[in-house]
Amino acid sequence: MIGLLKSMATTMKHALDGKTFTVEYPEEAPEVSPRFRGIHKFSQERCIWCRQCEKVCPNDTIQIVTDDKRQGEQYNLHVAQCIYCRLCEEVCPVDAILLTENFEFTGDTKHDLVYNKEQLGNVPWYKDIDPLAAREPDRGAWVGEGDGEVDYQ
C-alpha cells in the first residue's frame, strides 16, 4: 500500500510540474539526437565510384552502375530497404555519403521508394535536406573543395 501511494505521489509530482517530454508531431518537429541515423544523401560531385558503399551495404539498398571504363553512370537508392546501419557512410573514403536526421517519408510499398540520382533531386521530402546540418565530415582532409559548397543530391 505504501509503495502504491509513493508511486502515485511520484506520478502526480511529474504530471503537475509542467515539464513535457513529448511534442505534438507533426505540428511540432521533434529534436533528434545528433547521433540519429536518417536517410542518407549522396554527392556525385565527391563520389569516386569505388563501389565500397554498395559492397558493404548488407541489403542492397545502394546500387552503383559503372561503364566498361569503371566511370560512374548511375547511383540507385532503394530507400525502404535501408536499415540505417551507417556502414556506407563509414566506408566511403571521400564523404560522398552522409546520413541525415530526416525520417519523414512514406510509401505504400517499398517499390514507391526506389530512386536513381536524377530522380532523387526531385523528390520533395529529399531534395532540400542538407546533410551537413547533421554531420560534420573532416573537410580539412578533402582534396580540393574543402571550403566550398558541396552538391549532395
Residues lying near ligand SF4 in the complex (CB under 6 A) are found at 47-53, 56-59, 61-62, 64, 82-88, 91-92, 94, 96-97
Which CB atom, from 10 or from 107, has the smaller least distance to ligand SF4?
Answer: 107
| Cα–Cα dist 62/77, whole Å | 5
Output the smallest distance, CB 37 to ligand SF4, in A: 7
Output the smallest distance, CB 13 to ligand SF4, in A: 41
Which CB atom, from 71 or from 109, has the smaller least distance to ligand SF4?
Answer: 71
Output the smallest distance, CB 105 to ligand SF4, in A: 14
Output the smallest distance, CB 96 to ligand SF4, in A: 4
| Cα–Cα dist 132/40, whole Å | 11
Which CB atom, from 93 or from 148, has the smaller least distance to ligand SF4?
Answer: 93
| Cα–Cα dist 74/94, whole Å | 18
- How many Cα neighbours within 13 Å face the side chain of 93? 6
Residue with cell 515539464: 19
Residues 127 and 54 sit within 8 Å (Cβ to Cβ)? no
Which CB atom, from 60 or from 112, has the smaller least distance to ligand SF4?
Answer: 60
Of all helices (H) and strands (E), which one includes residue 99? strand 97-99
